[in-house]
């Protein structure tokens, strides 16, 4: 479902990624661990088409994302890639449902279809009673679960999570981690998760260790 081939990335004289190769199957949960500065976030940004590699290719659902540009790339990203970041980035003036459905509207889904999918996700994520609340009325764990629903609203090929529980206390972090596996079981969803949380990393189907821009063997 997701393939990275010989990905290289430098910022000036700093080589961040040094020929990364990665292949992730549908329904697989892969964790990436490593010290800060190892290149984890840079790799996720490139896999998510938010950044462009200096060399190499990203293939998602048998399509070379590296060959797409402009508005077509934005549409491809919206349809195939879900993002979960350490900070939820919810829009404060919109309700939880509106925050989630916005991604679907951008993708061309009708209001009734988007709201039905959001309702389904909120049931799975135990957010049904919070659907019409503003972000300021939600706890940190609830806000991050809304961000998870937003990432899933378009049934993406892959969800990329960058330190998804890094801003949560241990109880909310554990709840979030368990939800990833619930979502995989229900939707056969694919996750690539960059994390410093060793417990989450160990739960994954595969744990990859990154150091100085390469995966350790």
Domain ranges, ordered by start, for the chain:
26-38+70-207
> Measured on CA atoms in the order 180, 48, 195, 146, is the torsion positive or negative?
negative
> Three-state SS string across 119-133, please?
HHHHHHCCCHHHCCC
CATH 3.40.50.300 is right for the domain spanning 26-38+70-207: yes
Task: With cut-offs at 50, 70 and 90, classify the pLDDT of residue 168.
Answer: confident
In this prediction, residue 30 carries a pLDDT of 92
- Yes or no: say if 41 and 194 are a contact pair by the CB < 8 Å rule: yes
β-pairing verdict for 214-215 and 206-211: antiparallel
Sheet holding 214-215, edge to edge: 81-84, 158-162, 191-194, 29-33, 206-211, 214-215
Over residues 91-140, the pLDDT tens digits come to 999 999 999 998 889 878 899 999 999 999 998 888 899 899 999 999 88
Over residues 63-87, the pLDDT tens digits come to 888 888 888 888 888 888 888 887 7
Q: What is the DSSP letter of 205?
A: S
Q: Which helix (H) or strand (E) holds 172?
A: helix 170-187
Mean pLDDT of all residues in 151-156: 89
Residue among 59, 106, 42, 156 at smallest CA distance from 148: 156
Residue among 35, 49, 106, 36 at smallest CA distance from 83: 49
Is residue 175 pLDDT above 90, yes or no? no
Is residue 57 pLDDT above 80, yes or no? yes
């Amino acid at each position: 479902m997701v393939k990275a081939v010989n990905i290289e990335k430098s910022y000036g004289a700093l080589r961040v990624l040094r020929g990364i190769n990665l292949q992730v199957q549908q329904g697989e949960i892969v964790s990436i661990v490593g010290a800060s500065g190892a290149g984890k976030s840079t790799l996720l940004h490139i896999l998510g088409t938010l950044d462009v590699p200096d060399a190499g290719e990203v293939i998602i659902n048998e399509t070379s994302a590296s060959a797409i540009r402009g508005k077509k790339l934005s549409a491809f990203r919206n349809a195939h890639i879900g993002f979960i970041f350490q900070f939820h980035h919810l829009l404060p003036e919109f309700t939880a449902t509106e925050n989630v459905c916005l991604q679907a509207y951008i993708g061309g889904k009708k209001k009734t279809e988007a709201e039905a999918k959001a309702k389904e996700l909120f049931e799975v994520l135990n957010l049904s009673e919070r659907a019409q609340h503003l972000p300021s009325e939600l706890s940190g764990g609830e806000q991050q679960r809304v961000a998870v629903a937003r990432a899933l609203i378009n049934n993406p090929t892959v969800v990329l999570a960058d330190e998804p529980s890094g801003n949560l206390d241990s109880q909310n972090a554990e709840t979030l981690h368990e939800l990833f596996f619930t979502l995989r079981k229900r939707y056969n969803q694919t996750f690539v998760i960059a994390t410093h949380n060793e417990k989450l990393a160990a739960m994954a189907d595969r744990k990859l260790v990154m150091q100085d821009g390469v995966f350790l063997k």
